[in-house]
Amino acid sequence: MTRRVVVTGMAGMTPLGEQWSEIRDAMEQGRTGIRYMEEWDRLPGLKTRLAAPVTYFKDEGTFPRKRARSMGRVAAMAVRTVERALEQAGLTGSSELSSGRTGVAFGSSYGSTEPTRGFVRFMEQGDSTGLTAMSYIKMMSHTAAINIAIYFGLKGRIIPTSCACTSGSQAIGYSYEAIRFGKADIMIAGGGEELCPTMAVVFDTLFATSCCNTTPERSPRPYDRDRDGLVIGEGAGALILEEREHAIARGAPILAEIVGFGTNVDGAHVTDPMPEVMSDALRLALVDAQLTPEDIGFVSGHGTATIQGDIAETAATAAVLGHKVPIHSLKGYFGHTLGACGAIEAWLTIEMMREGRFAPTVNLDVIDEKCAELDYLHGGFQSIDCQYAISNNFAFGGINTSLIIGIDKYYGNN
């Protein structure tokens, strides 16, 4: 049994804001959320000083203290984003949430990092005064998924996806499969990540961070010849996925449809991507959607601005979709939001598909000749009318995901 899966609500939190209208305005002006992190000057072992923080969201005081006890920053961002997505879907306070047929798939690279200080102090000094009953709950990898389930009273299945840069996209893909094969009627899907210098230093040790510290507005530079690495960001994204007939029956807005999903793993190297296996993930999504490469009108690329990553990704994309498909990366605006990026990019892909206008890759001046030949969007917004777009993400461990999103003009602005 297979069923159609639609998007009935969506929301996000990015360094450029929460509303698509304000994000779009910033993009049109060429503004990004990247800034110099003065607070990192105390860390001489960290070469990069660039990041993309969400400065407007204060996790403390957003929720009642009793309900926020188990939330670190990443969980608070996730719950707030889901709250807004449920509102758009018309599910706020609905008995559907506790019916047992609504579940959650949500991921992050890690939980909140702050509580780890207490555990380190305990291991080094034997001092446990910095630990509380909630310390582990805040830092565990499935903290966002659990806090969402508890806050909204969910009784269905839970799928934590702690898979670094594919956490958000896997959450959407596995939610799509859960509904498609009758295991749920509604799934809350997405990912989040809070900003921490420990995440930046991970890439620092791999010589993969941008060190253009004096010109934050010019970095990162996905697909550009002069790119020098990625910039870490933070944020969250959430989609409400629903079985199509179920959504129609309750009069829910149908914003888009998830029509295909492919995921696999290289099984070869932790950090060295394999273009041929990445290509297989795209092919799996096409087969799942019963579409041809010619049906895909746009690609939301992973585009981290790392030297080898951009080359491998574009080679894989061209091998499957050909050289004429339009592609962009949004990470120049938000930095690499790790566990959140797949969900944020899927959300914004839907927004752009509905408007028929797509943002360029910011800071892309000279396309790297080592990247595969594709139609790289740069310079300004471009009008593209497409029914199907593909959103790709790739993570440490050789984890590859490809989501295919459809938007039928029949849906209109419903």
What is the band of 408 on the pLDDT scale with cuts at 50, 70, 90? confident
**165 among known catalytic residues:** yes
- Can you tell me the mean pLDDT for 81-101? 98
* % of residues, the chain, pLDDT over 90: 94
User: Catalytic residue among 142, 163, 196, 302, which?
Assistant: 302
**328 among known catalytic residues:** no
Q: Could you read off the pLDDT of 182-223 as tens digits, one per residue?
A: 999 999 999 999 999 999 999 999 999 999 999 999 999 999
Peptide bond before residue 220 is cis, with ω within 30 degrees of 0: yes
Summary mean pLDDT of the chain? 96
- Can you tell me the mean pLDDT for 166-191? 98
Res. 355: pLDDT tops 60: yes
User: Catalytic residue among 336, 371, 378, 386, which?
Assistant: 336
Look at the domain 5-411 and name its fold: Peroxisomal Thiolase; Chain A, domain 1 (3.40.47)
Amino acid code (one letter) for 272: D
Domain ranges of the chain: 5-411
CA distance 177 to 159: 12
Burial of 409 (0-12, 13-18, 19+ CB in 10 A): exposed
What is the band of 414 on the pLDDT scale with cuts at 50, 70, 90? very low
Tokens of 234: 């933070």
- Can you tell me the mean pLDDT for 292-303? 98
User: Catalytic residue among 142, 163, 165, 371, which?
Assistant: 165
The pTM for the full model equals 0.97
- Can you tell me the mean pLDDT for 303-316? 97
- Residue 411: predicted pLDDT: 54
**246 among known catalytic residues:** no
Res. 413: pLDDT tops 80: no
Q: Could you read off the pLDDT of 8-19 as tens digits, one per residue?
A: 999 999 999 999
Q: Could you read off the pLDDT of 43-89 as tens digits, one per residue?
A: 999 999 999 999 999 988 889 999 999 999 999 999 999 999 999 99
- Residue 202: predicted pLDDT: 95
What is the band of 409 on the pLDDT scale with cuts at 50, 70, 90? low
Q: Which residues pair with 103 in a beta bridge?
A: 187
